[in-house]
């Protein structure tokens, strides 16, 4: 019974920890599909974390904070889109700049606005209450595992099929794929390329805002400097791992979430150092990319 | 009243390249109008203007008598103008139907109405006799079918005026024939077409009238029924094409390059290639582009993996050597796409000239800058490269001068064997003549030359022998005297004369 | 390439000024006196000998990482992985410094730098090999490997090289004779600056005058041509990535031996990423890198004093730097850096099939 308990606990925390990854991965996937590798996921998430705490605190409502996080994510994404599509700045460099802007900007604002550095956890701010789905949450084990979570966990589950539906079935989604694979072709049939790029990136910004919000108020209710701690890049790793496909990306996020869960649980109990689990997602994506490329090279030879 | 009229179109690109100069032409309703000219004559620019991809500096476009300003391709589509680009504008991972409907999808709320899309595509296919599976992924289709998708894309948008930019460049003669019958059917259904090409026989067989461009200007407009290929050709190049002076072939030739059982590991069924080039011989390679010529070049040069077989140059096997060693043994190359494979455009002229040999004069890995620049100045003089200084960037040179940089570099080391791939592509007549003279000089000096060209006239004028490549193999070999345009054409289409003759 | 950089200096200065002005606006909006803040910042960066020395101290690792990024940029490789090399280099140098305690100082310092550079170079070789042999996009792999390096070195100092009684994750102190000699009094400025300047000279000479520099330039401008003309492209890419990693490793060694006297987990906090800023701001020239490193060093050094005296968070400088990057990225857009496709296929070089010759033969002769 105790082992079963442990397993359920680990599984449930996997789902919680995977939530920001899934949301950010859907964002990364949309920008990848529209042909714009987005290094700035991390920064957008961090800004979302800050926004949810700051606005949640000011407005006295965590949900209003979540809304603010979404808006901040969208605004940063719009800035990013403007810089890379309109001003034609280099993607990677702009993404790095966005991350620096977010980490410097949130730390700066933390001091200026709240006169504190490091961590900010106002007592007036509540974390999002767990949403226990009626009936379902009473099921043994499954109820605790699946249906007793912070609301944004369910949002992340919804985000997966919705992203797939959007990308593969809606007209803007088809256009986004077309732009990513052959921008010239998309342009030649009069698709408003730039507007679609904005759309893909800004939806991504909203998702990143949500991801950041979950990090800050999904469990506890606090903002810590650089609290995203590379999760944006783990999400990006998941997207590359899954070659840009929504469901597979989400699965990869779950896997990476599991690593994170294990690292907390096993730290004391086992001899596996926690850094091992921290490194695993990055190592896996490098190996995966190497294997995919090796197979491709094998098939086509140099040309 | 003509259906389409262009009046006084003028276009200068940034950097001062005058692509179109006062171009006026008219196309009648229901006509297939040819637009011919050499590479760089301004055909593509003109059509980009008509399709809204470029804006003219001057001039007027009239469609059915109405003066128009075409701001972008979308506007052109709205006006019923459609374009099939030379490089297909398709999205590989989408289906045929999604590609055809792209940007004009039937909607069902937010979603694309797949069923409506498919049935409309099917209806169009049947009406114009263009069979293709709407649910197939475009990346799985052959080139010919992809072109069909492109044409259907225009028809789906109710294009009445179709622009086809070099549509035959990637097709076999059979596919060209079927393209022609499609075009005739389209015209019968009320469309008008502009057919861009530089192949004369195509103009003669499909177009009623043709407008000839040279150096960005209209130099003539002819009725094909009242004209001849010779006349159009004269208009295109500006004078009669003079056959280059050939000396008689080498009396005691020896083998310079022997290729045995060479497979290139390409997508084609890799049939081994065997051929020999002797001293003082030009071996021409004919074939529709994409039939293994590029793979052959890469295999000979040593920049391709998965190659098997033997390549022997003057008795030395090259097979195990890398590109640098092969060059040291006397192999030289004028590549197909000089800007991609033959030059570094941002770099200076001397740097490009030195790129094959820079390492030899280096001491302890330090470049001999003075020596290399001096050698470059000599080559500039010897090959008459028009450039202000050896320190100019290659990107500032004209196509002909850039090609001279390639040739100067490749000939500087007195090669034993030269591979010349499309050596006159995109060059004006003077520059092309210069290249031909250089090749014939080398032939006289006993160099073995492999001449790969899409230009049958060039091949027929220069080659001592000809091989025809089809789907990665050598389908036929012709001695100079037996090589006729007709026989070559059949072989390029994959048919041997012997198959027809009993 | 050269034409790209004409008038580079005035434009660089302009972008920097613009970012500083916007930083000032942010300060004013936050209710701070921006002019005063900048005055304090300038004084504490250049005001006296000690301030200048500290600016040079802050610039030292940036010279390394800027050059490391630059040399890869020149070959058309976007190496985001200098940060990772810096970590493994720093640990290795520290390890040498606290392990071979019996060696004399000169030998030990040389050995520590060499080992740090070597391991940094090997670390750079991983993505270099993947790019050269398997054509794996180096941007993704280097980003990912950075995190691996950071976590792995953290593991080393919390696991096998754990020192009991330390509050933070850090290694043992290097032996005194391995600690780099200081160059001036009352500042930590140390020998590492001299090493950085030597590396600068070597890199500048290498790029201008050697066969490797020539190959790097050719590959950076048109990799297909480089291969067709017979240059050892794969080998050069691997070599360049190794050199880039090596310089990153030296940067880490310098910090470990000259500033912290030990390996401290997570010590860099983006020195490697700053290298990208510097290479960008320096517009591909070694001298530009030197100047940009000095500028960024001054900002970072001045920021802490500014924070102390004006109570303006030093994070403001991160915002200014981010703005500098934005403006510079917008303003130059190295043409080969521009618009990378997400697919791992090689980028078409400028003037390739993707960008056919303009039609028309008149214009130039």
> Are C225 and B341 an interchain contact pair (Cβ–Cβ within 8 Å)?
yes
| Contact call for B340 and C363, based on CB within 8 A | no
* Buried residues in C316-343 as b, exposed as e (16+ CB within 10 A): bbbbbbbbbbbbbbbbbbbebbbbbebe
Q: Is the pLDDT of residue A297 over 80?
A: no
Residue range B12-35: mean pLDDT, rounded: 85
Chain C residue numbers with beta carbons less than 8 Å from the beta carbon of B342 are 225, 228
Return the residue of B nearest to A178 by Cα. Answer: B91
Contacts of A201 in chain C (CB under 8 A): none
The residue of chain A nearest to residue C328, with distances taken between CA atoms, is: A89
Give the pLDDT score at B470: 83
- Give the DSSP letter string of B181-206: HHHHHHHHTT-EEEEEES-HHHHHHH
Span B163-214, pLDDT tens digits:
998 888 777 767 888 889 889 988 988 899 999 887 777 888 899 999 998 8
Give the span between the Cα atoms of B175 and B185, in whole angstroms: 15
Q: In this complex, is the C-beta atom of C211 within 8 Å of any C-beta atom belonging to chain B?
A: yes
Contact between residue B15 and residue B75 where contact means Cβ atoms under 8 Å apart? no
Task: Give the rounded percent of residues in chain C with a pLDDT score beyond 70.
Answer: 89
pLDDT band at B130 (very low <50, low <70, confident <90, very high): confident
pLDDT digits (tens, 9 = 90+) for C193-252: 999 999 999 999 999 999 999 999 999 999 999 999 999 999 999 999 999 999 999 999
Q: How confident is the model at residue C356 (pLDDT cuts 50, 70, 90)?
A: very low
Task: Determine which helix (DSSP H) or strand (DSSP E) holds B420, and give its type and residue range.
Answer: strand B417-421
Average pLDDT over residues C125-140: 94
Write down the pLDDT at residue C357.
32
Residue C358 has pLDDT above 90, yes or no: no
Residues in A closer than 8 angstroms to C145, CB to CB, are 282, 286
B residues 26-55 lying closer than 8 A (beta carbon) to C: 40-45
pLDDT at position A131, please?
Answer: 84
Please compute the mean of the pLDDT values over residues A68-85 and round it to a whole number.
95
- Asked if A279's CB is within 8 angstroms of C152's CB, the reply is yes
pLDDT of residue B248: 80
Pick the residue of A32, A35, A88, A89 with the most C CBs within 10 A to test the interface with C by mutation: A89
Q: Which tens digits make up the pLDDT trace of A122-154?
A: 988 888 888 887 877 788 777 777 888 889 999
Helix (H) / strand (E) element for A236: namely helix A231-241
Give dist(CA C246, CA B328) in Å, integer.
Answer: 33
Q: What is the mean pLDDT of chain C?
A: 87
Q: Which residue has the tokens 């998702």?
A: A207
Is the torsion defined by CA of C321, C323, C327, C329 positive or negative?
positive
Task: Put residue B216 in one of left, alpha, beta given phi > 0 → left and psi -120 to 50 → alpha.
Answer: left
Q: How confident is the model at residue C336 (pLDDT cuts 50, 70, 90)?
A: very low
Q: Which whole number is the average pLDDT over B409-430?
A: 89
pLDDT for position B6 = 92
- Residue C23 predicted with pLDDT over 90: yes
On the question of pLDDT at C127 being above 60, the answer is yes
Where b means 16+ CB within 10 Å and e means fewer, C144-157 reads: bbbbbbbbbbbbbb
pLDDT for the residue B244: 67
Contacts of residue B124, Cβ cutoff 8 Å, sequence gap at least 6: B100, B130, B152, B155, B156
Higher confidence at residue C85 or residue B428? Answer: C85
Stretch C32-36: mean pLDDT, rounded?
Answer: 91
The DSSP 8-state label assigned to residue B417 in this structure reads E
pLDDT band at A86 (very low <50, low <70, confident <90, very high): confident
Q: Is the pLDDT of residue C343 over 60?
A: no
List A119's β-bridge partners, or say none: A224
Segment A78-91 shows an average pLDDT of 88
Confidence label for B496 from pLDDT (cuts 50, 70 and 90):
low
φ/ψ bin of A63: left (φ > 0), alpha (ψ from -120 to 50), beta (otherwise): alpha
The pLDDT of residue B459 is above 60: yes
Which of A177, A190, A302 is closest, CB to CB, to B103? A190
E strands present in chain C: none
Would you state the pLDDT for residue A276? 87
CB contact under 8 A, C134 and A290: yes
Cβ separation B94–A178 shorter than 8 A: yes
Tell whether the model's pLDDT for residue B408 goes beyond 80: yes
CB contact under 8 A, B367 and C210: yes
Provide the pLDDT for residue A89: 85
Confidence of residue C5 (pLDDT cuts 50, 70, 90): very low
Q: Is the pLDDT of residue A300 over 60?
A: no
Q: What is the pLDDT of residues B66-99, one digit of tens each?
A: 998 999 888 898 899 999 887 888 999 999 999 9
Calculate the average pLDDT of chain B. Answer: 87
What is the band of A268 on the pLDDT scale with cuts at 50, 70, 90? Answer: low
Task: Kindly provide the ipTM of the predicted complex, given to two decimals.
Answer: 0.87
- Determine which of B112, B115, B265 to mutate to test the interface with A (most A C-beta atoms within 10 Å): B112
Best C276, C328, C329, C347 residue to mutate vs chain A (most A CBs within 10 Å): C329
The pLDDT of residue A303: 37
Best CA proximity match to C4, nearest among C292, C322, C221: C221
Phi, then psi, of C131 in degrees rounded to 5: -75, -45
Cβ contacts below 8 Å, chain A against chain C, sum to 156
pLDDT exceeds 60 at position C106: yes
DSSP for A180-213, written as a single string: HH-HHHHHHTT--HHHHHHHHHHHHHHHHHHHHH
pLDDT tier at C345 (50, 70, 90 boundaries)? very low
Q: Name which of A72, A25, A10 is nearest A213 in CA terms.
A: A72
Does the structure show a pLDDT above 80 at C347?
Answer: no
Backbone angles phi, psi at B432, to 5 degrees: -65, -40
What is the predicted pLDDT for the residue at B41? 78
Tens of pLDDT along B352-393?
999 999 999 999 999 999 999 999 999 999 999 988 899 999
Nearest CA-CA distance, residue B118 and chain A, Å: 14
Q: Is A91 on the interface with C (CB under 8 A)?
A: yes
pLDDT given for residue B298 in this prediction:
95
pLDDT at C339 over 50: no
Handedness of CA B135, B139, B144, B147 (dihedral sign): positive
The better pLDDT of the pair A162, C343 is held by A162
Contacting subunits of C (3+ beta carbon pairs below 8 A): A, B
Mean pLDDT of B326-339: 94
Give A16-57 pLDDT, tens digit per residue. Answer: 999 999 999 999 999 999 988 889 999 999 999 999 999 999
> CA–CA distance from B273 to each of B310, B480, C336 (Å)?
10, 20, 38
CATH T-level topology, domain C40-332: ABC transporter involved in vitamin B12 uptake, BtuC (1.10.3470)
Grouping H, G, I as helix, E, B as strand and the rest as coil, residue A271 is coil
Question: What is the percent of chain B where pLDDT is above 90?
Answer: 50
Determine the Cα–Cα distance for residues C71 and C32; give it in Å rounded to an integer: 40
Element (H, E) at B12: strand B4-13
- Give the residues across from C182 on adjacent strands: C190
On whether any CB of chain C is under 8 Å from the CB of A39, the answer is yes
Report pLDDT digits (tens) over C53-82: 999 999 999 999 999 999 999 999 999 999
- In chain C, what are the domain boundaries? 40-332
Name the closest residue on chain C to residue A86, using Cα atoms.
C330
pLDDT category of residue A109 using cuts at 50, 70 and 90: very high
According to the model, what pLDDT value does residue C1 have? 41
Q: How does residue B16 score in pLDDT terms, banded at 50, 70 and 90?
A: low
Per-residue confidence (pLDDT) for residue C29, from 0 to 100: 92
For residue C357, give the nearest of B339, B347, B362 by CB distance: B339
Q: What does the pLDDT look like over B247-295, one tens digit per residue?
A: 787 778 899 999 999 998 765 556 799 999 999 999 999 887 778 889 9
- Residue B39: pLDDT band (50, 70, 90) is low
């Amino acid at each position: 019974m105790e082992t079963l308990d442990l397993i359920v606990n680990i599984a449930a925390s996997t789902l919680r920890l995977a939530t920001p990854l899934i949301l950010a991965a859907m964002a990364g996937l949309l920008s990848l599909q529209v042909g714009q590798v987005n290094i700035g996921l991390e920064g957008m998430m961090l800004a979302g974390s800050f926004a949810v705490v700051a606005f949640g605190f000011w407005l006295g409502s965590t949900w209003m904070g979540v809304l603010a996080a979404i808006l901040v994510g969208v605004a940063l994404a719009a800035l990013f889109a403007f810089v890379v599509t309109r001003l034609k700045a280099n993607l990677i460099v702009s993404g790095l700049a966005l991350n620096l802007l977010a980490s410097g900007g949130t730390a700066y604002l933390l001091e200026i606005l709240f006169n504190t550095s490091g961590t900010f956890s106002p007592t007036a701010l509540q974390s999002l209450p767990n949403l226990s789905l009626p009936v379902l949450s009473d099921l043994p084990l499954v109820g605790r595992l699946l249906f007793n979570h912070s609301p944004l966990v369910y949002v992340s589950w919804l985000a997966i099929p919705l992203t797939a539906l959007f990308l593969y079935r809606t007209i803007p989604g088809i256009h986004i794929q077309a732009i990513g694979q052959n921008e010239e072709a998309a342009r030649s049939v009069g698709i408003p390329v730039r507007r679609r790029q904005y759309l893909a990136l800004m939806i991504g910004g909203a998702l990143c805002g949500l991801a950041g919000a979950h990090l800050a108020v999904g469990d506890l209710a606090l903002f810590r400097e650089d609290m995203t701690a590379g999760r944006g890049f783990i999400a990006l790793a998941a997207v590359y791992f899954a070659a840009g496909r929504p469901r597979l990306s989400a699965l990869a996020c779950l896997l990476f979430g599991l690593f994170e869960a294990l690292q907390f649980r096993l730290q004391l109990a086992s001899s596996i150092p926690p850094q091992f689990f921290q490194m695993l997602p990055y190592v896996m994506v490098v190996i995966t990319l190497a294997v995919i490329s090796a197979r491709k090279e094998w098939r086509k030879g140099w040309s | 009243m003509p259906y389409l009229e262009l009046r006084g179109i003028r276009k200068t690109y940034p950097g001062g390249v005058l692509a179109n100069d006062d171009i006026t032409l008219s196309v009648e309703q229901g006509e297939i109008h040819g637009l011919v000219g050499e590479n760089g004559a301004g055909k593509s620019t003109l059509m980009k203007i008509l399709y809204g991809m470029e804006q003219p500096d001057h001039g007027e476009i009239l469609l059915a008598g109405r003066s128009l300003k075409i701001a972008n391709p979308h506007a052109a589509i709205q006006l019923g103008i459609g374009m099939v680009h030379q490089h297909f504008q398709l999205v590989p991972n989408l289906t045929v139907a999604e590609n055809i409907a792209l940007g004009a999808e039937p909607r069902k709320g937010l979603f694309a109405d797949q069923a409506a899309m498919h049935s409309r595509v099917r209806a169009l296919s049947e009406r114009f006799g263009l069979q293709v599976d709407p649910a197939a992924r475009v990346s799985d289709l052959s080139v010919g079918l992809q072109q069909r998708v492109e044409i259907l894309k225009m028809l789906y948008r109710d294009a009445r005026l179709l622009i086809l930019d070099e549509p035959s460049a990637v097709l076999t003669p059979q596919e060209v024939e079927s393209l022609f019958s499609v075009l005739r059917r389209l015209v019968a259904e009320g469309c008008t077409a502009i057919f861009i090409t530089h192949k004369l026989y195509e103009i003669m067989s499909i177009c009623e009238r043709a407008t000839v461009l040279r150096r960005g200007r209209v130099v003539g407009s002819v009725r094909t029924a009242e004209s001849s290929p010779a006349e159009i050709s004269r208009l295109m190049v500006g004078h009669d094409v003079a056959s280059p002076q050939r000396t008689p072939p080498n009396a005691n030739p020896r083998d310079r390059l022997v290729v045995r059982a060479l497979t290139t590991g390409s997508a084609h069924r890799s049939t081994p290639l065997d051929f020999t080039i002797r001293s003082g011989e030009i071996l021409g390679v004919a074939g529709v582009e994409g039939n293994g010529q590029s793979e052959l070049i890469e295999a000979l040069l040593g920049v391709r993996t998965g190659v098997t077989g033997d390549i022997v140059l003057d008795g030395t096997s090259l097979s195990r050597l890398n590109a640098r060693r092969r060059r040291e043994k006397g192999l030289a190359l004028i590549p197909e796409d000089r800007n991609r494979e033959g030059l570094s455009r941002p770099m200076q002229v001397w740097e490009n000239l030195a790129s094959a040999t820079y390492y030899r004069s280096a001491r302890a890995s330090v470049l001999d800058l003075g020596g290399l620049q001096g050698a470059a100045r000599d080559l500039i003089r010897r090959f008459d490269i028009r450039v202000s200084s050896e320190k100019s960037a290659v990107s500032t040179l004209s196509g002909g001068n850039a090609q001279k940089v390639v040739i100067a570099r490749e000939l500087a080391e007195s090669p034993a064997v030269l591979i010349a791939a499309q050596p006159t592509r995109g060059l004006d007549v003077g520059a092309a003549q210069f290249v031909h003279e250089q090749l014939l000089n080398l032939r006289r000096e006993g160099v073995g030359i492999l001449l790969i060209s899409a230009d049958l006239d060039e091949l027929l004028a220069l080659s001592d022998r000809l091989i025809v490549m089809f789907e990665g193999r050598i389908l036929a070999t012709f001695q100079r005297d037996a090589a006729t345009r007709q026989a070559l054409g059949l072989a390029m289409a994959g048919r041997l004369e012997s198959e027809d003759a009993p | 390439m050269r034409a790209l950089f004409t008038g580079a200096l005035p434009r660089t200065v302009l972008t920097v000024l613009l970012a500083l002005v916007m930083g000032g606006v942010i300060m004013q909006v936050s209710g701070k006196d921006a002019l005063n803040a900048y005055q304090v910042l300038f004084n504490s960066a250049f005001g006296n000998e000690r301030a200048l020395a500290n600016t040079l101290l802050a610039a030292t690792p940036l010279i390394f990482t800027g050059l490391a990024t630059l040399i890869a940029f020149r070959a058309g490789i976007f190496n985001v992985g200098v940060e990772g090399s810096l970590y493994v280099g720093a640990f290795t140098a520290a390890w040498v410094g606290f392990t071979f305690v019996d060696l004399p100082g000169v030998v030990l310092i040389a050995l520590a730098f060499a080992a740090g550079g070597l391991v940094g170079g090997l670390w750079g070789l991983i993505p270099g090999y993947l790019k050269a042999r398997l054509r794996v996009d180096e941007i993704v792999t280097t980003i990912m490997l950075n995190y691996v390096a950071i976590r792995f070195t953290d593991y080393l100092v919390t696991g096998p090289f754990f020192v009991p009684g330390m509050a933070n994750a850090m290694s043992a102190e290097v032996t005194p004779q391995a600690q780099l000699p200081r160059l001036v009094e009352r500042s930590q400025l140390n020998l590492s600056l001299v090493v950085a300047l030597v590396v600068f000279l070597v890199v500048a000479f290498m790029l201008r005058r050697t066969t490797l520099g020539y190959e790097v330039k050719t590959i950076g401008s048109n990799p297909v041509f480089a291969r067709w003309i017979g240059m050892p492209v794969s080998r050069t890419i691997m070599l360049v990535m190794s050199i880039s990693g090596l310089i990153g490793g030296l940067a880490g060694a310098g910090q470990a031996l000259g500033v912290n006297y030990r390996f401290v987990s997570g010590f860099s906090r983006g020195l490697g990423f700053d290298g990208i800023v510097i290479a960008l701001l320096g517009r591909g020239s070694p001298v530009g890198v030197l100047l940009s490193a000095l500028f960024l060093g001054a900002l970072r050094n001045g920021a802490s004093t500014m924070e102390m005296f004006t109570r303006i968070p030093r994070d403001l400088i991160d915002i200014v730097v981010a703005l500098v990057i934005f403006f510079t990225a917008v303003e130059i857009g190295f043409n080969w850096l521009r618009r990378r496709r997400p697919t791992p296929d090689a980028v078409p070089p400028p003037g390739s099939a993707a960008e056919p010759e303009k039609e028309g033969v008149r214009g130039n002769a």
